[in-house]
Amino acid sequence: MIGVIDLGIGNLENVRRAAGAELISDAYLIERAEKLIFPGVGNFGEVAEKIETWRGPILDFIADGKPFLGICLGLHYLFEGSEEQPGVPGLGVFRGRVVRFRGVRAPHIGWNRVWQLHEAPIFRGIRDGAYFYFVHSYYPEPEEDVAMAYTEHGDKDTLRFISGVWRDSVYGVQFHPEKSGQNGMQLLRNFRRL
């Protein structure tokens, strides 16, 4: 069973349907899942109180080596913290923090290309430079070698930012696969097959 963490934010139903998953609204039911998706649209601080109940079960799930996918805000929470809400800790799975776009238009909304840095299993069957759908004003700055993909954003001044991370069985993407047509469906199919 693939579980989708239900913190009451974001487009949970779209993610659940696209991934063929079940919503999990009780942190202690995570152990039933074989794979776990942490989706999210919203503010890093909005989730701060809600995430505390989930922190231990999520970290145990990841420590067990089970496949985990963080989407957008779910990706952000894999890091130690975010400029969006200073002082609020992330899960700290990856070293680094999440920062706000500077010098380019924000939020970054719409279709953009994702360039693969590694042949990650989650990108199997997806061509390099494929388009995915983004909605965000923040992006991760890893302090360790976990970058899986990058995207370029901006008109006159272009910023290259990390749009995907990966280590072992933990993946995170800045884009929304559930809104990304065939490429997104392929990515979610690949996640199901891990």
Determine whether 176 is an active site residue: yes
Between 41 and 172, whose confidence is greater?
172
Cα-to-chain-centroid distance, residue 33: 18
State the Cα–Cα distance between residues 194 and 88, nearest whole angstrom: 32
Q: How is the chain split among helix, strand and coil, in percent rounded to 5? A: 25, 35, 40
Q: Which entry of 76, 136, 153, 176 is annotated as an active-site residue?
A: 176
Under the banding of pLDDT at 50, 70 and 90, the label for residue 41 is confident
Q: What is the pLDDT of residues 56-115, one digit of tens each?
A: 999 999 999 999 999 999 999 999 999 999 999 999 999 999 999 998 999 999 999 999
Backbone torsions φ then ψ of 14, nearest 5 degrees? -65, -45
State the Cα–Cα distance between residues 76 and 96, nearest whole angstrom: 10
CATH numbers and ranges of domains, the chain = 2-193 (3.40.50.880)
Contact 89, 81 (CB under 8 A): yes
CA distances from 39 to 19, 153, 159, 164, 188 (A): 11, 22, 25, 14, 12
Determine whether 13 is an active site residue: no
Determine whether 84 is an active site residue: no
State the Cα–Cα distance between residues 56 and 191, nearest whole angstrom: 23
Residue 113: CB atoms within 10 Å:
14
Q: Which entry of 13, 46, 72, 143 is annotated as an active-site residue?
A: 72
pTM passes above 0.85? yes
pLDDT over 80 (residue 128): yes
